[in-house]
Amino acid sequence: MSLTATAKAGPPSPAGTGPGPDDGRAATLRRTWRKASPYAYIAPFFTLFLAFGLFPLLYTAFVSLYRVELQTSGEMEWRGIANYTALFTDEYFWISLRNTFTIGVLSTVPQLAMALGLAHLLNYKLRGRTFIRTAILLPYATSVAAATLVFAQLFGRDFGLINYAIGLVGLDPVDWQTGTVASQIAVSSIVVWRWTGYNALIYLAGMQSIPHELYEAAEMDGASRWRQFIHVTLPGLRPTIIFTVIISTIGATQLFGEPLLFEGSISGGISHQYQTLGLYMYEQGWGFFHLGRAAAIAWVMFVLIVVLVGANALIARRRARKEAGR
């Protein structure tokens, strides 16, 4: 607005002959503005990104080369890559890496499979469709803390509802907190519960963009619903599925709230049996106050996510090319 105003009230041309050159200047200004304005519009995001995204990222890298303790954060002591070498020789790092992977698989795979099935069902004409669609999003709207605390009660060893139910069938109670597999299943179940509906809605949106004629054609050819799902829905959904896989991979790598609150233990159980990388970082940083080491873990996680997402994208592209070549 101010730019146009200046343009209109621009100084009179020295020759004072006519509006010609003045119009030219206004046009130039307008053209510049048209070119520059997109940058102005996106500037707020990038300013925020620089301040809260890029700067912390770089500063974390800087801190990871020092010995910094939260209690005496003013004193920094150069360590070089010692924080990283200490990390790679720490047994608990590898345990938490493995846990992150197993919990990631235990939660992502059933989550996406169930979401796909749910979306497929919701794609049919159902009574109260909108209600059901909203309802499946509810777990996602619940806070991690609330959900996890409820699940921790359900999975309680002595007074938990799940062990009670197991007891009714005549089985021995399971110590959901202590067992490695049991605790990882319990933590994964919270993730599955929270995110299945969210993914189902994304799949549903993807399904609705698949042209209806394809289904009609398939039906004419005598394809059953299952075959339609396999041969029409899944190929049509491929980009959506790749998107959710990438998002879930990132989410699984950063998994933190559920394992932390499950037992209230920063070491992920007494033997680190469900400690994820995120929790391991938190334990080093805010349990033991070793900020330098925590920063090193953060960077290792960052690189890990980049590699995972890159691998995902690569596989996806290669498959797409194969399809195209067929």
Partner 1 sequence: MPIARAAKRATARLGAVVLAGALLAACGSSDSPDSADGAGGKVTLTVDLFGSFGFKEAGLYEEYEKLNPGVKIKQSDTQDEADYWKSLQTRLAGGGGLADVQGVEVGRIASVTQQQSDKFQDLKEFGADRLKGEFAEAKWSAATTKDGKILGLGTDVGPEAMCYRTDLFEQAGLPTDREELAKRWATWDGYLELGKEYKKKAPAKSAWLDSVGSLYGIMIGQEEERYYDASGELIYDRNPAVKEAWDTSVEAAEAGLSAKLDQWSPQWNQAFSAGSFATIPCPAWMLGYVKGQAGDGGKGKWDIAKLPGGAGNWGGSYLSIPRAAKHKKEAYALIKWLTAPEQQAKVFQKQGNFPSSTGAIETIADAKDEYFSGAPIGRIFGDAAKESPVQVLGVHDQNVMQQITNALSEVERKGVSSDKAWQTARKGVDNVIG
Rounded alpha-carbon distances, angstroms, from residue 303 to 3, 298, 307, 310: 44, 9, 6, 10
Q: Is 258 in the site for partner 1 (CB under 8 A)?
A: no
Nearer to partner 1, 71 or 130 (CB): 71
CA-wise closest residue to 276 among 167, 152, 191, 173: 191
Q: Is 79 in the site for partner 1 (CB under 8 A)?
A: no
- The number of residues making up the chain comes to 326
Spell out, one character per residue from 192 to 231, where the chain touches partner 1: x when CB under 8 A holds, - when not.
Answer: ----------------------------------------
Q: Which of these segments, 98-106, 132-140, 195-203, 259-267, binds partner 1 (CB under 8 A)? A: 259-267
Q: Which of these segments, 43-51, 100-108, 129-137, 224-232, binds partner 1 (CB under 8 A)? A: 43-51
DSSP type of residue 77: E
Cα dihedral 282, 286, 288, 290 sign: positive
Q: Is 70 in the site for partner 1 (CB under 8 A)?
A: yes
Give the largest CA-CA distance in the chain.
102
CB of 302 to partner 1, least distance (A): 22
Spell out, one character per residue from 100 to 139, where the chain touches partner 1: x when CB under 8 A holds, - when not.
Answer: ----------------------------------------
Contacts of 121 (CB under 8 A, 6+ apart): none
Contact 116, 203 (CB under 8 A): yes
Out of 140, 243, 256, 289, name the contact with partner 1 by CB under 8 A.
289
Q: Is 166 in the site for partner 1 (CB under 8 A)?
A: no
Nearer to partner 1, 24 or 167 (CB): 167
Q: Is 89 in the site for partner 1 (CB under 8 A)?
A: no
Contact 237, 207 (CB under 8 A): yes
3-state secondary structure of 66: strand
Give the binding-site size for partner 1 (rule: CB under 8 A). 33
Euclidean distance between CA atoms 184 and 277, whole angstroms: 14
Out of 48, 50, 121, 126, name the contact with partner 1 by CB under 8 A.
48
Q: Is 157 in the site for partner 1 (CB under 8 A)?
A: yes
DSSP 28-53: HHHHHHHHHHHHHHHHHHHHHHIIII
User: What is the contact surface with partner 1 in residues (CB under 8 A)?
Assistant: 44-45, 48, 69-73, 90-92, 152-153, 156-159, 175, 178, 263-267, 270-271, 284, 286-290, 293
